[in-house]
Structure 1
Amino acid sequence: MNINKKQIKFISAVTGLAVLTAATSFAALPEQAAAKWLNSTRTMSEVEGQLLQTGSATALFDEAVDSRIPLQTQEGKMLQIPIKQGVVDDKPAVVLKDTAIQAGIIKTIIVSSPNKVDVGPGVAYLDYAKVIKWQQNVDAGYERWRLDPLQVAHKEGKNYGFTDKDTFTIVKRLAQSELSRHGEIHVKVTHNGKDYTMILVKPFGGGDAIWTTYKVVGQYRPAPPAQTTGKTLFSTDKYADWSWHKERYLKDMAFATVVDYNSQLNQDKRIPENVLSKVKDIDYNKKVVLFAYLGTAPSGGYGVGIEKVVMNGNKMTVTVHTKSPRAGSAVTLAITQPSDYVVLDKTIFDIWGGVDITFVDQNGKVLSKNKLTISHR
């Protein structure tokens, strides 16, 4: 038997991950393919071992350095078989298991690569041949946009008829779900006046694992933002064109209702003094300050602005608008600390039982809640 005419089948132990099953002879492995080597012991019949020895095994791998793999027969005899482990991409992303050599056919080739992504149980109906290739490209430093869910939605959304003129907004994040144990994100897309939802999944685990589209459903009907009725105390449209393009907000983001500058500075360390000093000279006997701090940004291009304050009974909703730079956009490299504030009359908060204050972003996501009660002494 001349085993260089046999097929190699890559069969994953992962559910739903049957990839690269097309006929691929040893000789057909591309010269540029990465060659990984593994010394291991496998149990096989002596007949199967003899099949491997039949013919010129070393000739199967022209220009390749042989690796002697000891194969233990069922009778306890050791056979030294030269064999090459071939990987059809420069940077394999998955770890396959359970090599079985039967009748001279290698059914599964172990692809071991340290610090690579962890293959989950598999997201049903994904084309894993493509998904693995995309992950390998990212590992090699290409197509890094696949790590950003919003960029993935923009680019892959074109396959569903969406355009760059549409609005893309992340409305739900799940660290794991029944659909994908490594993560699921819902992106609302407003197209021609209608809302749709792109469901993105992480097919693999790990910090540099890609996102891809699972499906698109429509129309999306979001829950109404917190407190949209009532009396408008403040409003501006100068932040209307802002968009947030990052996966999450900055970790030291903070909001405050300031009734006394010194007390705020001494008792609440979330907002740095150099940032809070903007409201140092306010007359707090008559005024209250609503303060929004985006956090410590790694570059320019970030911003936060208070665009609306609405009062309804004893409930106040402060809507802030955020922005972040798109990937690849030109920004200053200096660290920034964006913030904004609105000054209101103190009498507004002089309500029996106090005022419940909620800060939300432009998508209605609750960012902070607090209660202010004016004390009369």
Structure 2
Amino acid sequence: MQIEPFTLHVPQTQIDDLHRRIDMTRWAEQETVDDWSQGTPLAALRELVRYWREEYDWRRCEAWLNATGQFTARIDGLSIHFLHVRSRHENATPLVLTHGWPGSILEFRNCIAALTDPEAHGGTAEDAFHVVIPALPGFGFSGKPTQAGWGVERIGRAWGELMRGLGYARWFAQGGDWGSAVTTAIALQKVEGCAGIHLNMPIARPQPEDLAAPSPTEVRALTALQHYQDWDSGYSKQQQTRPQTVGYGLVDSPVGQAGWIYEKMWAWTDNAGRAEDALDRDAILDNIMLYWLPAAGASSARLYWESFGSFAAKDIDLPVAVSAFPKEILPTPRKWAERHYRKLVHWGDMEKGGHFAAWEQPEAFVRELRIAFGKMR
């Protein structure tokens, strides 16, 4: 495998084009309600976009990416962009972290230092990881598939190729959202080298007996699942069935792309009413830029078309650890998960945090990974 260092420098013409498109926006009228029930409110999006246009500095994020360690590898005919940060401890545990939608490799930004240099962040040398963070195909600066077939199973195999190409014979995998589906696919296929997985969005569903006499925990989960189905899943049906159609608007309009993502930053985080209660505004825009700059609105949506059916409960024989965050959009009680995770070595019920676990609660996320993979070493 040919692995090449990657330096990112976005031409100023692209930044100028972004600003021009923002300036030329034809805004929709204000919603007829005083909340988010019709989608991203006009006032909230206008303020985010104003900041984006007038104060936000992309070069800060670009510099961080370049300083962290970016690479590309050609795997199965596709260029995969990834971060690779080795610990100073040579015998650290290799770990591949997989993001989801509408996230990016930046979800893990505030976890990398603690994972690779644990002694400087409340841990011990035994907690050290070599960290690999690939961008999903069609996301960020990874290549865009030109033919169908890049579902989560193929991505899982590609991650195995990547870890082998980096010289890692035994490694662990972690993920939430689509990262959970990819990580689950790695375990189901028993991809060579993977010794165990950690999920912050476990996948399991209730049985008839659960529905007949649900516990309080199950009632909360069922209520959340029903809310998602009724009020929060329209984006997924569109991306699952017509990713190309929605992609035209996302690729052409920065305000459209921002509104599409910003709503989920609000709906899926553990916040007090604003997305910015849970996530830094600059970090939100950094993440949006990883969709806007590479024009990834359509290519990222296609993963739903390829693999939405992969979000199904399946039996896993490898060691599994789970961290359950209270504001997860698709919560799974431990009782449901235990039916499928035959070697469940750790279950952590977290006090705070939502769908973007590593992004919202990096310290708790790191602690959970140390505990979880410590039980698998």
Whether TM-score is above 0.5 comes out as: no
Choose between structure 1 and 2: higher strand proportion: 1
Which has the greater radius of gyration? 1
**Structure 1 length-normalised TM:** 0.21
Choose between structure 1 and 2: higher helix proportion: 2
**Structure 2 length-normalised TM:** 0.21
